[in-house]
Structure 1
């Protein structure tokens, strides 16, 4: 199982596969669903299964697997369904399974498991005095009639844990009663905050507050829509501040994983050039469905993409970005990435840098956002050589994805460097890498490379000049200074977006170079202003 590039589903169920599950199953690091039910697999489940950290469904029932349940399953944070029933597994149930906060269905029936049920997999019914019936161990009053009980059967949620032996069967009934509790409550359910946020001491906001703060998720408050959800403008009660609320569409495959990835990244990062997270919500909506949302500070000027590619005129009231503003934005971007790569331990790889994921505050300074596919590199991965083919399943945006990811190479900081290079060229030329002009082997990188250095003024975004007065445009000293600045930043974009990772700059070097370009432009501009005044 060396197919590390598989990213959706591998279905080998109901065949005649036999023998042990190979250690190479741990190489399926990008796979969302693995179906191995109904075969003749034997031996122990390898610990390497824990490397499949983005997996959501794992089905290995109806085999002859032996040994204990691997504790490394706890590392598959996005797992929603796990079926190990009808095998020959023994030992106890690992208590670490309780850390799988997204797990909806767990099947362990028809094995040889023993020992006590982990306490964290149990259920409390304190505070639900209206419940009745059930097994004697719950000590609930008898229900008034059987017919009334039947009317409630349809309200039971499909969350099942099936395990043999009399003591363990109690757990299955407990979880069924948990499903009943979800439907029974008529008030806003008590929220559950993901473990990822317990270290950050974020303020807690319930579902009702988010519902109210976005006017019931009004379409008028939509700021943007993506693959995994919708971003709304809203407010937080009693704080009187504007926020951006990212609500995940949990019906879309991969949305739980995206939520977990963003939580994991945001738990680690704190920097002035990154969008600040205000709070989170992990709860149940009024229909009894899971609800996940992240609340961020509101960025008054929207995405950088809008400012690069808008049509500027006196009618729309939006002014084009000046050269100085673009240089400041570029410095903010490289500072954010330099922090993620070199200021975080372990490093965080953004994986989806592009203008639409860069937001501008009221002062027109850039803030990096959207960590939905960010990767936190553990020590083993961060030490892998650049020619490793152990990919962890990168998914970015067309035009900004590093070429080596298409060949299945491992995620690295140099992938973000490539995206940075393309973004810098786009920022100063006004051309998107997906522009229809780029075809037949011609890319935005090639477009800039051919123009450098003699024709950089020809490829520069013409909107830059909308912010300059007619006198300065006709000043040859000014033109020379602008050409030198543009040449330097376009060259930096070219060096960062080279085809081979080994040919690119490191992020720290790119940041240092960008600061030098901006500072030199600022100093020469000040000198020019002094001369003009004299």
Structure 2
């Protein structure tokens, strides 16, 4: 009766009225209540499959009476076990000598995993108990279960070491121990499991080195040690793992030394991720033997030398990240011959030379980050170099040319250089001679102007006010481009003015113009603060400033405006809180899109806090200030109350009555700002936490439901982790495919992902600043959540195939 909408409880006398039944298949329904004790009277029963219902309570302790039982499958229910007594059913199942599958994942099982688990049937093939809250250690004698083919104990609270006896499981195909607190080393006996195809132990506390015996796993397709504390060198024996075809992930460990040349033996590999280690030396040319590689991530290491010119042999490469290394030399022009390359990240290295013109001809390239190198010369004007959303070249001070929107200096022509060198002696004398009288006239004019300004009535412009270092656009151009500031062109409104859609004559596409209402107190300072912040920063996840206007309007009044890149998909706020077409999901954000947007947000803030000197504090992060481009990627905007965190600012305590008092918006502002504490990065972390919770629950912090001491943070904290699916934004499901509601693994994947994001939001929005994560840790965690969700999709595909 599986896959219907049946509900209610199973009859308590089920075991009495159906004495000869062999199979009970009631999965994917809506049954609730406890499992009847009378089930244990069904001596002929061979299989119980009640996956994906709402059964609760404890598992009957005398299941061992079902001596013909070969399958007990209760995934995705609400079964409980809190102490040794409630775990007795495991010891009882040792009497079921024919048991082949035991699946209890995604329930509410707690307490220590009983050692009696190792006494189960020698015929047991599948042991699956993921996504509970089981503690304790993996039983030392787990090797007794010699017929096991799949073990999944991931996403629990297990501790201790991986038992050496695991090497006895010579028939094991898949081992999942990820997202626990397992410590110790990867046992060398793992190399004896020659049938192993998937080894996933990411997000634990594993230490020590990778055993060379791992090279014996000739059937391995996935090796995932991501986010542990593994040390030492990558063993040369990895070159023997030619069977790895899906994922090789050793990222975010403590690995050091060179990347062995034997890595070229991974000829069937699609993804190689070694980010966030301490690897050094040259990148071996042999890596180009991985011809089918699609993703190569070596960022966050200490690789030296030049980028191998042989990279172009990896014809299927779509993602290449070499950020944050010590690479030097020039950028190989033949990278443009990788026909499917979509993302290329080379920032924060010591690369020199010019940008290859050929990269502009690469039609598939969507994102290119060359920032913070030593590049010089002319910037190409084709392809990705016209897509300012996906391009970052900041931190290369000797670049010139490019499209006008980059605001780079013009490149000197060869004739100009020649004229400068060939200037005659008489001309060099004539210029300063003629210039002297002009200089005298200018000094007199400046003095008269100073007297005039001194007598003029004082305005709100602060004494230190200076015009931003940006090209100026005339007022009349903005007036014409907005059709006289027509309400039809209004994109949004804020405390200091309005944002209009505008078409400037010198712009090929529309731009957004933020016009400041100078009659509002604080607007001059807001204009200056935004210009000051934006002239310091450039990042792909920050809204790009095009130009500004500091002029006089047609009534003779001061006029201030900032021109930004136009974001075609408006603000994140509109996407979260709009009504959508529920029949086809039009307009709703999928889970993958929300994860990508969240990663963009944390990347932007991490850059502001840790990539800028001095750091920049946004002070007003919220969904309405996060804009989405044509590709639905996020850019953080509105720096109207941002602060540059110099030494004086960091030591200053705020006065809530002053113009720099409580900074932010209601619901998103850090609570310590209300107590007069100084602006700090912790304030942005709080706003990030609230924004993340809002993104994935669809609830605004100013919703009427939050009152009497109940906040959005508290709402999420109470629901975590058991009720995360209940508070999740229902619009997420509008974009998911048909029949996914009946896919247990898919629902579990969603639940794990949502739990992780909500937990991150809670950790970031703690009441006390000292209890919050740092922005760099929050960014790393958000990347890990997104990457795990993506990799889990791949692993699910593998499981489905097998």
User: Does residue 210 of the first structure (1) align with residue 531 of the second (2)?
Assistant: no
Pair member with larger Rg: 2
What is the rounded CA distance, in whole Å, between the counterparts of 2:505 and 2:539 in structure 1?
Answer: 26
Report the aligned-residue RMSD: 2.6
Q: State which of 523, 529, 539 in structure 2 corresponds to 1:261.
A: 529
What is the rounded CA distance, in whole Å, between the counterparts of 1:295 and 1:171 in structure 2?
Answer: 29
C-alpha deviations, 1:414-451, integer Å up to 9, x for none?
Answer: 00000000000000000000111111111000000011
What is the rounded CA distance, in whole Å, between the counterparts of 1:461 and 1:273 in structure 2?
Answer: 24
Describe the SS at the equivalent of 1:267.
Answer: helix
C-alpha deviations, 1:129-169, integer Å up to 9, x for none?
Answer: xxxxxxxxxxxxxxxxxxxxxxxxxxxxxxxxxxxxxxx9x
Contact 1:394-1:411 within 8 A present in 2 as well: no
- In structure 2, what is the equivalent of residue 139 of structure 1? none
Q: State which of 468, 473, 498 in structure 2 corresponds to 1:197.
A: 468
Contact 2:650-2:678 within 8 A present in 1 as well: no
More helix by share: 1
What is the rounded CA distance, in whole Å, between the counterparts of 1:293 and 1:446 in structure 2?
Answer: 40
What is the rounded CA distance, in whole Å, between the counterparts of 1:320 and 1:518 in structure 2?
Answer: 19
Deviation at 1:383, TM superposition (A): 5.9
How many residues were matched structurally? 353
Deviation at 1:124, TM superposition (A): 3.4
What is the rounded CA distance, in whole Å, between the counterparts of 2:444 and 2:777 in structure 1?
Answer: 53
C-alpha deviations, 1:295-332, integer Å up to 9, x for none?
Answer: 00001010100000111116998421000000000000
User: Does residue 415 of the first structure (1) align with residue 736 of the second (2)?
Assistant: no
Contact 1:349-1:416 within 8 A present in 2 as well: yes
What is the rounded CA distance, in whole Å, between the counterparts of 1:247 and 1:347 in structure 2?
Answer: 26
Contact 1:245-1:294 within 8 A present in 2 as well: yes
Q: State which of 651, 667, 692 in structure 2 corresponds to 1:424.
A: 692
- Flag the 1:284–1:438 CA change in 2: closer, same or farther, 3 A: same
Deviation at 1:382, TM superposition (A): 3.0
What is the rounded CA distance, in whole Å, between the counterparts of 1:248 and 1:480 in structure 2?
Answer: 48
Describe the SS at the equivalent of 2:548.
Answer: strand
Deviation at 1:122, TM superposition (A): 7.6
Mark the runs of 5 or more structure 1 residues left unpaired by the alignment. Answer: 1-118, 126-167, 180-193
- Flag the 1:380–1:319 CA change in 2: closer, same or farther, 3 A: same
- In structure 1, what is the equivalent of residue 768 of structure 2? 500
- Flag the 1:460–1:290 CA change in 2: closer, same or farther, 3 A: same
User: Does residue 462 of the first structure (1) align with residue 755 of the second (2)?
Assistant: no
- In structure 1, what is the equivalent of residue 581 of structure 2? 313
What is the rounded CA distance, in whole Å, between the counterparts of 1:121 and 1:418 in structure 2?
Answer: 52
- In structure 2, what is the equivalent of residue 124 of structure 1? 445
Contact 1:355-1:423 within 8 A present in 2 as well: yes
TM-score by length of 1: 0.62
Deviation at 1:204, TM superposition (A): 2.6
- In structure 2, what is the equivalent of residue 279 of structure 1? 547
Deviation at 1:238, TM superposition (A): 2.6
- In structure 1, what is the equivalent of residue 592 of structure 2? 324
- Flag the 1:470–1:294 CA change in 2: closer, same or farther, 3 A: same
Contact 2:468-2:528 within 8 A present in 1 as well: no
- In structure 2, what is the equivalent of residue 295 of structure 1? 563
User: Does residue 251 of the first structure (1) align with residue 522 of the second (2)?
Assistant: no
User: Does residue 352 of the first structure (1) align with residue 620 of the second (2)?
Assistant: yes
Describe the SS at the equivalent of 2:533.
Answer: helix
C-alpha deviations, 1:242-272, integer Å up to 9, x for none?
Answer: 1000000111111111111111111111000
Contact 1:123-1:175 within 8 A present in 2 as well: no
- Flag the 1:173–1:481 CA change in 2: closer, same or farther, 3 A: closer
- In structure 1, what is the equivalent of residue 572 of structure 2? 304
Contact 1:340-1:348 within 8 A present in 2 as well: yes
Contact 1:452-1:487 within 8 A present in 2 as well: yes
Deviation at 1:345, TM superposition (A): 0.8
Deviation at 1:498, TM superposition (A): 0.3
Contact 2:489-2:501 within 8 A present in 1 as well: yes
Contact 1:301-1:361 within 8 A present in 2 as well: yes
- In structure 2, what is the equivalent of residue 433 of structure 1? 701
C-alpha deviations, 1:439-473, integer Å up to 9, x for none?
Answer: 11110000000111111011110111111123222
- Flag the 1:380–1:238 CA change in 2: closer, same or farther, 3 A: closer
Deviation at 1:175, TM superposition (A): 4.1
- In structure 1, what is the equivalent of residue 427 of structure 2? none
